[in-house]
Structure 1
Amino acid sequence: MSESRLFSSFVMAGYECSSQRRGDGRRLDLQASSGHAKWVSQDYGRLAELGIKCARDGLRWHLIETRPGHYDWRSFLPLLQAARDQGIQVVWDLCHYGYPDDLDIWRPAFVERFARFAGAAARLMVEEGITAVTYSPVNEISFWSWAGGEVGYFNPGARGRGQELKHQLVRASIAAIDTIRAHMPDARFVQCEPLIHVIAGTQRAGDISRAEGYRLAQFEAWDLLAGRQWPGLGGREAYLDVIGANFYPQNQWALSAGKILRGDADFRPLAGMLAEVHQRYRRPVLLSETGAEGDERVPWLDYVATQLAAARARGVCIEGLCWYPFLDYPGWDDDRYCPAGVFGYADGEGSRASFHPLHQALQALGRNPELRR
């Protein structure tokens, strides 16, 4: 059986790299707080025992470009070099919610600066001897637009401007893709967006229409990139490469009754959701983020793996599964311990204890020929 066509292994390790400013002004840096930035070589080294040869990781733009047009790569080079030296293929996130403090995200300069930053990153990778690269330009445009532009949860802290922010992030992603392709014509791009399902929970026509509107909104960022909506933003089908679908246990809800959890009668099977995405775009699909906390980790992985097999049986081109995050981490809002990873916090020498049941389950999944072909 052959490995996945796009990625070096079907199972991927996702390293949390969020770097947004919270509403209270505090800058998050999950690569630092999880210890991954310090212990990246050890973290990548552990992947071999799991048969994992591919990861999602990220650049921290706010640390790299502290002055306009000046790039300090010291925060990124250890990750890039560790991946190269250990033979780990990485899908590099260029903007995972965070950006330099001097930038006004609403202005044209944001798009221009991001494109130049993306181009500089591509040139650096070429100089380091890495020429076949996959990027995720702007992570979760839809979620960021809601969190940062609609409800003021994190930067830029706006309310009622979600659609405006979504358009700006699409422009930035398009500009970055163009600049990267000028240096790396064979670069690939994963556009990662939350996969959701929303129902009304009532029989009222207005509620049903509103719920369907929320559900269909999950496709807007992909549609904008492809030029199917608002073509004046510059979107074209060529900007939509690999569909990255992020799916967690809390990604389904009823407007009138809150979350719909696995096991509930209204819970929509993941295989059907993936089939809808594939039918709409006819692109390869990566389950670019999935995971759960505590003792729900293994049952959730079992469910997702079964659903991926079912989706493949329906003709969906599934390229991989990324467990995210791969390391336990402190929560965004309160620093609570989040036991969501395959490995826990690092000790003073970079050692991490594994959550053995998940460790074993991922090993077995990586050997499953039905998901590797």
Structure 2
Amino acid sequence: MPPTAGLRSFFLAGFECAAQKRGDGRRLDLLASTRHDLHARADYAAVAAHGMRAARDGMRWHRIEVSPGFYDWSSVAPMAKAAAEAGVQVIWDLCHYGYPDKLDIWSASFPERFARFAKAAARFLRNESDDVPYFCPVNEISYWAWAGGDMALFNPMARRRGAELKRQLVRAAIAATDAIREVEPRARFICAEPAINVVPASARQADQAAAENYRLSQFEAHDMLAGRVAPELGGSPDKLDIIGLNFYPDNQWVHGGGAIPMGHHDYKPFSEMLAETHERYGRPVIVSETGAERSARPAWLNYVSGEVQAARQSGVPVEAVCLYPILDYPGWENDRACEVGLLGSPDESGRRAVYQPLAEELERQQARFAAAAESASPPLLRRVAS
């Protein structure tokens, strides 16, 4: 049988859990600023009510590891309990751009400390439930390497060290995967990376080569994890389990220029990007993040869902689409209100307003995929399922 991701629902809810430090020294904590950490019970009940029985959420390493080797799980225990009560399966991000103060990300101790934390996280979840745990060890290695290692947008605030940072983050992800498997061999892992398309600014050979090299860089983290590139980092094929692709409206651009608008002849169908990734690795694929802002939300979900359906019909095993973020949130740079979610800001009881156009589109797409799955199932399986 081909491998499967084993998720409880096709559509997932994604709770933004970024925890990086900005250049001004302020640490972001999106679980706190969206108040998901306070209202996890209401949030999980809400996403379950909208048919999402699986979700991405996060463990905040900087809050849990109170001193080297000592862990306080009080910030994550209520969220894990809330998800279990709502019957929602969680993929836990362990390092979503954030790490403890005074830990040098460039040091040999960084992967070691992260592996110890990951192992402790696996033990914590094993004590909470006998369910198979799911982890995303390091979120968006490629983006973090660019943003933190080349552009100094957030920690570690470096320039011209992106390649070095990517290798270090891969080391950490590999060490964490091995450590978790020592505790829980059944554990599943998602490598969530941006899916991009980059086209040349001109027909000149040099421009075409530069654009294609940049486009192919989206696969470097996967290749390192799988041991295809830089095998000295410790990668191996078993380090790639479920491939997660993060895809947003600005993920296609002209090399050295602006975004490619949808409908332009250079805009690459997302279904082709999904197919290329699966053909390259032969692993289950999920859309681990996707979403748009304000009134574009339902139209974007319609587009992505249509492309996923097209990919599935061509034999690409796309097994989930994660609406990310599922909650409106304050912007990283200026705290502006980012209206991106299915759910808005909470009232005192934790109830959040629903963005109805997106809710209606989600319901349409859930019915569409359910009907497609029903028609594709053998008659005997349909009778058993009913």
**Structure 2 length normalisation: TM-score?**
0.94
Kept after mapping to 1: 8 A contact 2:48/2:88 = no
Kept after mapping to 1: 8 A contact 2:5/2:284 = no
- Structure 1 residue 49, shift from structure 2 partner: 2.2
The aligned amino acid for 1:193 is E
- Structure 1 residue 23, shift from structure 2 partner: 1.0
SS of residue in 2 equivalent to 1:126: helix
Which residue does the alignment assign to 1:80?
Answer: 80
Which residue does the alignment assign to 2:19?
Answer: 19
The aligned amino acid for 1:341 is G
Which residue does the alignment assign to 1:200?
Answer: 200
- Structure 1 residue 371, shift from structure 2 partner: 5.5
Which residue does the alignment assign to 1:107?
Answer: 107
The aligned amino acid for 1:217 is S
- C-alpha distance in structure 2 between counterparts of 1:99 and 1:21, whole Å: 9
**Pair 114,256 (structure 1): closer, same or farther in 2 beyond 3 Å:** closer
The aligned amino acid for 2:333 is D
- C-alpha distance in structure 2 between counterparts of 1:95 and 1:244, whole Å: 15
Kept after mapping to 1: 8 A contact 2:5/2:242 = no
Which 10-residue stretch deviates more, 259-268 or 226-235? 259-268
Which residue does the alignment assign to 2:356?
Answer: 356
Q: Deviations over 1:14-70 (max 9, x none)?
A: 000000001111100000001111101000001232111000000000000121001
Q: Deviations over 1:264-284 (max 9, x none)?
A: 221100000100001000000
SS of residue in 2 equivalent to 1:174: helix
- C-alpha distance in structure 1 between counterparts of 2:128 and 2:208, whole Å: 53
- C-alpha distance in structure 2 between counterparts of 1:188 and 1:256, whole Å: 37
Structure 1 residues 127-276: aligned runs within 5 Å: 127-276=127-276
Which residue does the alignment assign to 2:121?
Answer: 121
- C-alpha distance in structure 2 between counterparts of 1:339 and 1:226, whole Å: 37
- Structure 1 residue 135, shift from structure 2 partner: 0.5
**Pair 372,51 (structure 1): closer, same or farther in 2 beyond 3 Å:** farther
Kept after mapping to 1: 8 A contact 2:48/2:86 = no
Which residue does the alignment assign to 2:279?
Answer: 279
The aligned amino acid for 1:253 is W
RMSD: 1.1
Which residue does the alignment assign to 1:38?
Answer: 38
Q: Deviations over 1:152-177 (max 9, x none)?
A: 11001111111111011001001101
**Pair 11,231 (structure 1): closer, same or farther in 2 beyond 3 Å:** same
- Structure 1: gaps (5+ residues): none
- C-alpha distance in structure 2 between counterparts of 1:167 and 1:358, whole Å: 38
Which residue does the alignment assign to 2:291?
Answer: 291
Which residue does the alignment assign to 2:93?
Answer: 93
- Paired residues, what number? 370
Kept after mapping to 2: 8 A contact 1:10/1:371 = no
- Structure 1 residue 193, shift from structure 2 partner: 0.1
**Pair 256,97 (structure 1): closer, same or farther in 2 beyond 3 Å:** closer
- Structure 1 residue 349, shift from structure 2 partner: 1.6
Specify which structure has the bigger relative contact order, considering alpha-carbon pairs within 8 angstroms and separated by 6 or more residues. Answer: 1
